[in-house]
A and B are shown apart, each in its own frame.
Chain A
Amino acid sequence: MLHKRLTPYMFLAPALILFLWFTAYPIVASLILSFQKLEGGKYVFAGLANYTRLFQDSVFYEALKNTFIFLIVQVPIMLILALILASALNSKLLKLRGLFRVGFFMPAVTSLVAYAILFSIMLQDTGLLNQFLALFGIDNIKWLSHPFWAKFSIIMAMTWRWTGYNMVIYLAAMQNIPEELYEAASLDGAGKVKQFLNITVPQLKPVILFTAIISTISTLQLFDEPYNLTNGGPADATLTLGLYIYRVGFSYFDFGYASAMAYIIVVIVAILSIIQLKVAGDD
């Protein structure tokens, strides 16, 4: 029955061919490229040259630092906010739950480019947000041209875009927490905050881990927002690894160096994912 044994491979063939061609090959090719250098119009083996160069490149450190600031500040703020909103919306007593859910999720369906451009207009010196703050007597803030506020702006924009998305994930997972747990806690006299910390959070642990890993991976690749909001500026204050790779690769056409940097991200993603899994595994 050769024919029968071949069936699954026939179903798999298109995916496998495309995968090898457009995913597996480029992953390997870029690893090889990261050990190569352009010399006389040809790529030649250069050992660890690209990697050692990275460790002396102050712009790379800046990009690495910025990326980690976004990661360490934005991801926890967003996930905690999403968790709080989800648990507020999970209450059966709340009216208009559907409206809130749809409203909070709406930013997550917009195009990254469109929302980044929209925020860049709102955050101009004489833009909407400063006009609004002026009503409260707050002076013009240089949202996009001051190093601190530029980072703040990106964090604010990302939080706007993604909180509702994570909230809906939590909301869906909360439907699986048995109602009896809350009832029992209520009888024992535990307040809402205690119930949230001792029942909701532990019960959602696997889902929180899932969102943390997804957010970590996407923050390490952050590109669309800094490209369209600040273009990495002012003075590289919002330059991310993703943006620096694009710059090195497609403005300077230094493919070997850009590939080495891409592999630094691969390694960081792997390390952080393992740490997150380990932390969640230890009960």
Chain B
Amino acid sequence: MEHTNKKPSQLISKILLYFSLCVFLFISIFPFYWMFVGSTNHTSKMFTNPPTLTFGDQFMTNLTNLNESIGIFRVLFNSLFVSLTFVILSLLVCTFAAYALSKFKFKGRNTIFLVFVLSMMIPYQATLIPLFRMMTEFNLLNTYFALIAPQLCFPFAIFLMRQNFLAFPDSLIESSRIDGAGEFRIFWSVVLPSMKPALAATSIYLFMMQWNNFMWPLVAVNSPEMYTFPVALSSLIGISMIDYGQIMVGISIATVPIIIFFLLLQRHFIAGMLGSAVKG
């Protein structure tokens, strides 16, 4: 490239770059804005020409209607209870397993790990029907147990935690053993405290998984009071007279907490959702 025309062409490509990035940014973010606008307007305002792009005053009306349709507090409670319980239990189960698979040498270790990893390739649909029949047989449909238990052993979480344990120095574990600490104590008070960032990332991942989970709750629950939030939202579009205003409030409520959470914790968030891919 010649020196004389380097500057203007660089300027043009820079402007083009910023312009296209801004277009993509607009496309990424605009639907969120429009969703909030929709949640504050009457249904009819969503299909006007020209489009309504300003906030209205119908939010409370829409929220009241939404609550009448799906019992918003009940389904929010269900989703929160299921997700939080799931995160705590799954984190416990998966962290234990990951610790065993990374810090002990024992028979079958590699096989067990391989089976966990391979099971991630099995599509969810292949387990759906036997799980449903199992829950039917034991009369567990429409219970929190059915919503929480099946995915507690979550291979990807084991995989993530294992990666992090592998980086923990064995010598520290050895010296604690020489000091006479029990295995469980070593795990709890020597190893785990240094795993806080990994635990945070993994729990965000698990929370997202469960909070957004749709297919299994759709199958496992058929009484509206046990619906999780996504199932309740989806049930709104099945009915004949669709009130888009209340739907917009519903999807806003499903989205806002996660966006706030995301903006506050975005480093952990991204690490959690990407897991070991980041270290690629």
Contact = CB atoms under 8 A, between A and B. Distances in A.
Interface of A: 5, 7-9, 11-12, 14-16, 18-19, 22-27, 29-30, 33, 85, 88-89, 94, 99-100, 102-115, 117-122, 124, 126-128, 131-132, 134-135, 160, 164-165, 168-169, 172-173, 176, 189, 206-207, 210-211, 217, 220-221, 223-224, 227-228, 241-242, 245-246, 249-250, 255, 258-259, 261-263, 265-266, 269-270, 273
B35 interface: yes
B277 A210 contact: yes
A30 B130 contact: yes
Given A23-B127, A245-B125, 10 more contacts: A22-B131, A29-B133, A102-B263, A111-B251, A113-B254, A128-B34, A169-B274, A242-B125, A246-B125, A250-B132
Contacts, number: 254
B35 A118 contact: yes
A88 B109 CA distance: 43
Interface of A: prevailing SS? helix
Interface of B: 1, 17, 20-21, 24-25, 27-29, 31-32, 34-35, 38, 46-51, 92-94, 96-97, 99-101, 104, 106, 109, 112, 116, 119, 121-134, 149-153, 158, 183, 187, 208, 211-212, 214-215, 218-219, 229-231, 233-234, 236-237, 244, 247-248, 250-251, 254-255, 258-259, 262-263, 266, 269-270, 273-274, 277-278, 280
A205 B255 CA distance: 34
Contacts of A15: 93-94, 96-97, 153, 158
Nearest to A221: B123
A110 B236 CA distance: 18
Contacts of B124: 221
Given A18-B152, A29-B130, A131 B50 contact: yes
A19 B150 CA distance: 9
Contacts of B218: 246
B29 A103 contact: yes
